[in-house]
Amino acid sequence: MDWLIARFAQAPDHLAFIHRDRQVSYGEVLRTIEGFTTQLRQAGIAQGERVVVLGDYSPEVFCLYFALALQGAILVPLTRESVVEEEVALGVCGCDWFIEFAGDSTQAAITRRSIPLDNPLLTEFRNRHHPGLVLFSSGSTGKPKGILYDFNRIAEKFRKQREPVVAIPFLMIDHFGGINTILAITSSLGTVVTVADRSVASICRAIEKYKVELLPTTPSFLTLLMASRLNQQFDLSSLKRISYGTEVMPQSTLDRVRAAFPDAQLLQTYGLSEVGVLRSQSRPDGSLWVRLGGPGFETRVVDGILWIKSEFAMEGYLNAPSEFDSEGWFNTRDRVEVDGEFFRILGRTTDIINVGGQKVYPAEVEDFLLQLDNIVDVAVYGEPNSLLGQLVVAKVQLATPEPADQLKRRIRQACHGKLTAFKIPGKVIVSEEPLYSVRQKKMRSASVAATKG
C-alpha cells in the first residue's frame, strides 16, 4: 500500500477530512500515520497479529487502520453500533491486541489482549506476510460470519486515480461498503465528511454546509428523506451523484428522488462482502435496470439467480465453509431478471414469501404501499401460516396516528385490483420504531417493537 502513501504525499495541502467541523489535510494524515506506526512498533505489535480496533469514523481511526496495514497486522474493526457483539467477534477471530478510541478522542489506547485461536485459514494467510482485514456479516440468516480479506487486494482496486469528490461515507466503517467508500474517496484525494449521527437532518445539514458532491446511501435512507421533505428545507444542490445499494430500491422512491434532484446522477450500486463492489451503470431511462461488472468481475445467471466471480473476493470465512464453487463462482442468492446486458434485482431468495406455492417479492409490495397516504416507511415479510404456508405481513410506520383496523381496510382497498390477491397483506402492523437497522437497511422481521392490527 506504499503507492497510497506516495499519492497522499503529492497533495499535502488538499483537504482529506472534515470531521465534525475539524479539517485535516493529507499532510496531517501522513504525519498521523507515521505517529501511529511508531506507537505500534513501540508497543510490540508484529506482522500477522490480530488487532481489534474499537472506534467509528474519524481521521485518526482511518490513519490507525493504515498504520496497521503497513505493519502487516490483521485488522478487526468494530464500532459501538456493530452488528456483532464484541465477545462474539473475538470468539470467532481471536485477538492479540485491543485498541480503543474513547468517544471522539484522537488518542488510541493500546492494550495486550491475548485470545488464542487455532484457525487454519488465519495460519495460512499469515504465511503470505500480507495485511489482513476481518469483517463480520450481520447474521440475518444465522450466526454472524467472520470474513477474512487480503487488505492489499482490496486497496489495489483503487490504484487507478479518479476525480476527487467531497463525500459522506454513509455505511459504517466496520462494513465492507464503508471500507470501500473511504478508500475510494481518499485514493482519489477527495474529502471525507463525517457526521455525528446518520439521521436525515444531520446528513442534510452536512451536505448543505460542506457542499457535499457524492452521497453513497441506501434506499431506506432515501425513502425517509423523501417522506421527511427535508430536501426542501436544506440546500442540497451541491450533490452531483447519489448512489444507492445494499437492498432493493422501490421504484416509487427512485421516481421521487429523480424529481427532487433533477441535476444529480443516480447510480445503483451492487456488492457483497464476499466478492466486493462491482462497477455499475444504471440504465438512463430512470428504471431499476443496471449493468454490472467491470475489471476483475464476471457475472452469470443460473436458474434466475445471479452468480459472481471476483478477483477481489474474500479469502474465506473464519467460522464457516466456503460458499464458492470449484471454479470460483459465488451464489449471491439474489433473484434477477435479465434484459441484454442489464439486470433488475428482484430480491434475496431468503426474503421471498411463499403463499400457497406463489412467490411474493417483498420489495414489490413495499413499493406499492409506499405510494399510499400517511405511510412513511414499510417492511414486508412472511409469517408462518398453517393453511397457506406463509402469510404476507406489512409493518408500517405512519406520518400521523391512524387506527390499525382502519389502516388495514384502507390498504386492502388500495391493493384490490392493483396487486394479485395472494400479494395483498393479510396482516398489518403499525410500528412505533424505525424499520431500518443502524446501517440504514430495511429490517424485515417481527422483532421490531410494534402495535398489531
Domain with residue 434: its CATH number is 3.30.300.30
Give pTM, 2 decimals. 0.85
Whether residue 448 is predicted with pLDDT greater than 50 in this model: the reply is no
**Are 297 and 310 a contacting pair, CB within 8 Å?**
yes
Average pLDDT of 139-161? 85
Tell which of 124, 155, 186 closes a domain. 155
Which of 140, 155, 170 terminates a domain? The answer is 155
Range with lowest mean pLDDT among 29-43, 120-134, 274-288, 433-447: 433-447
- Residue 366 belongs to some domain of the structure: yes
Number of domains within the chain: 2
Is residue 437 over pLDDT 70?
Answer: no
Instruction: Take residue 326 and report the three cell numbers written for it.
Output: 470449484
Average pLDDT of the residues of the chain: 90
Q: Mean pLDDT, to the nearest integer, of 407-421?
A: 91
- Which of helix, strand or coil describes residue 403? coil
Give the model's pLDDT for residue 1: 80
- Integer angstrom CA distances of residue 179 from 66, 284, 357, 444: 12, 28, 40, 25
Is 63 among the domain residues? yes
- Could you tell me which of 240, 198, 206 has the C-alpha nearest to residue 441? 198
What's the rounded Cα separation, in Å, for the pair 58 and 195?
Answer: 10
CB 368 within 8 A of CB 419: yes
> Measured in whole angstroms, how far is the alpha carbon of residue 382 from the centre of its chain?
24
Bridge partner list, 380: 394
Mean of pLDDT values over 3-8: 95
* In the chain, % of residues over pLDDT 70: 95
Around Cβ 14, how many Cβ atoms within 10 Å?
Answer: 15
Backbone angles phi, psi at 7, to 5 degrees: -65, -45
Mean pLDDT of 239-261: 92
- Domain boundary among the residues 155, 174, 205 is at 155
Give Cα separations from 332 to 67, 349, 447 (angstroms).
Answer: 33, 9, 25
Closest Cα to residue 171, out of 163, 183, 161, 182?
182
List the one residue out of 261, 260, 254 whose CA is nearest residue 285: 254
pLDDT at 374: 92
pLDDT exceeds cutoff 70 at 415? yes
Q: Is residue 164 part of a domain?
A: no
| Over residues 15-20, mean pLDDT | 94
Tens digit of each residue's pLDDT (9 = 90 or more) over 315-361: 999 999 999 999 999 999 999 999 999 999 998 888 899 999 899 99
Helix, strand or coil, per DSSP, at residue 328: coil
CB 288 within 8 A of CB 254: yes
Length of the chain, in residues? 453
Closest by Cα among 221, 241, 140 to 439: 221
Helix (H, G, I), strand (E, B) or coil at 311: coil
At residue 185 the predicted structure's pLDDT band, cuts being 50, 70 and 90, is very high
pLDDT of residue 292: 93
Sign of CA dihedral 19, 25, 30, 36: negative
Q: Residues 100-110: pLDDT tens digits?
A: 988 677 888 99
Q: What is the mean pLDDT of residues 235-251?
A: 92
DSSP structural state of residue 421: G
Q: What is the pLDDT of residue 449?
A: 41
For residues 219 and 247, is the Cβ–Cβ distance under 8 A? yes
Q: Other C-beta atoms within 10 Å of 381: how many?
A: 21
Per the domain annotation, does 347 fall within a domain?
no
- Give the domain extent around 368: 353-452
- Does 452 have pLDDT greater than 50? no
Distance of CA 325 to the CA centre of its chain: 25
Helix, strand or coil for residue 227?
A: helix
Is the residue at 123 inside a domain? yes
Q: What is the mean pLDDT of residues 304-315?
A: 94
**Mean pLDDT confidence for 132-151:** 83
Mean pLDDT of 9-13: 96
Got the DSSP string for 118-182?
A: --HHHHHHHTTT--EEEEE---TTSSPPEEEEEHHHHHHTT-S-----EE---S-TTSHHHHHHH
Is the model's pLDDT at 453 over the cut of 50?
no
- Residue bearing the bigger pLDDT, 271 or 190: 190
Q: Confirm whether 390 is domain-assigned.
A: yes
Helices and strands per DSSP (H, E), number in the chain? 12, 27
Q: What is the CATH number of the domain that holds 33?
A: 3.40.50.980
Check whether 447 has a pLDDT greater than 60: no
Q: What are phi and psi of 301, to 5 degrees?
A: -120, 125
Those residues with Cβ within 8 angstroms of residue 325's Cβ, 6 or more apart along the chain or in another chain: 331
CA distance 148 to 308: 18
Indicate whether 32 belongs to any domain: yes
- Other beta carbons within 10 Å of 81: 12
pLDDT band at 451 (very low <50, low <70, confident <90, very high): very low
pLDDT of residue 450: 42
| Structural domain includes residue 243 | no
Q: Burial letters for 173-199: b for 16+ Cβ neighbours within 10 Å, e otherwise?
A: bbbbbbbbbbbbbbbbbbbbbbbeebe
